[in-house]
Amino acid sequence: MDPTVVFITGCSSGIGLHLALRLASDPSRSFKVYATLRDLSMQGPLWEAARSLGCPPDSLETLQLDVRDADSIAAARARVTEGRVDVLVCNAGRSLMGPLEMHTASTVAAVLDVNLMGTVRMLQAFLPDMKRRHSGRILVTGSSGGLMGLPFGPVYCASKFAIEGLCESLAIQLLPFGVHVSLIECGPVRTAFLEKQEGGLGGTLDSMDPETRDLFSCYQRHCAQVMSEKAQDPDEVAEVFVAALRAQRPALRYFTSEDFLPLVQLRLSDPSGLSYIDTMHQALSDDPPPAAQQ
């Protein structure tokens, strides 16, 4: 039986790396994984872990791919020797945290380009073949920040809210083609995602007004506490991807943790938005918010 061909973006670290290893080392040996990285000089940790796990040599291959570049995407797709991709995992992403007025236009554009347009480019490249074959699965790394606005994360949340609409729309129209779209909704995960965010943490803080600086400092402390108490290991998150991949009828959304669901339900239960805003505003000064960016 031919292996299931899985193509994953953003595999230099974090969720992408752990998912690639999880599938490549699966005891069933039923997956062929193409793990892509923007910079192939960063592939060392992936191969070191693959060797320690005893991944079969033909179960994993790395490719250079930059989701900002359509030519890079096309070149990587052409390297898939099986000639098809059964499962596309859109995982590459960037974070951005801090007061909106502190972000440069180029920083905002870079985050939107990777998180939103990068996903669009990947879908445009791989969807036509899936539709022709009437078969395929698309897994997209979602976020609590795509389901509810998070303080000091307006650009990141904007990109993830857009991903929610993109995937929900596609899930409806692709159903007749046998192509299923699923969002893997993550809360805080123990990765270097926040540390590697675009433009550095918070941008130019020295020039912001004192009140905003104090609020942001408070939120940073809250995020650190949430990460220490609630963050999931990427291996745990990878298992949710695997469950979605193997589901007979995939759902649109899979939640890696139930910790932030009460806030999502609060947001949906009050269309005015006042209850949610009051709750999250209180979290800036008192209790830590139940979810941080991922």
- 213 annotated to a ligand binding site: no
Does 74 show up as a binding residue in the annotation?
no
**Quick check: is 276 catalytic?**
no
* 52-83 per-position pLDDT tens digit: 999 998 999 999 999 999 999 999 999 999 99
| Residue 294 in this model has a pLDDT that exceeds 60 | no
150 labelled ligand-binding: no
- Domain-embedded: residue 293: no
Task: Report the 3 state secondary structure along the chain.
Answer: CCCEEEEECCCCCHHHHHHHHHHHCCCCCCEEEEEEECCHHHCHHHHHHHHHHCCCHHHEEEEECCCCCHHHHHHHHHCCCCCCCCEEEECCCCCCCCCHHHCCHHHHHHHHHHHHHHHHHHHHHHHHHHHHHCCEEEEEEEEHHHCCCCCCCHHHHHHHHHHHHHHHHHHHHHHHHCEEEEEEEECCECCCCCCCCCCCCCCCHHHCCHHHHHHHHHHHHHHHHHHHHHCECHHHHHHHHHHHHHCCCCCCEEECCCCCHHHHHHHHHCCCCHHHHHHHHHHCCCCCCCCCCC
pTM: 0.92
CATH number, domain of 54, equals 3.40.50.720
230 assigned binding-site residue: no
Model pLDDT, residue 200:
57
How many structural domains is the chain composed of?
1
Which residues constitute the domain of residue 246?
Answer: 4-283
Residue 153 lies in a domain: yes
In a domain, 208, yes or no: yes
Q: Which is the catalytic residue, given 156, 219, 254, 276?
A: 156
pLDDT digits (tens, 9 = 90+) for 251-292: 999 999 999 899 999 999 999 999 999 998 876 775 444 444
Quick: pLDDT tens for 170-223.
Answer: 999 999 999 999 999 999 998 775 565 655 554 456 778 989 988 888 888 888
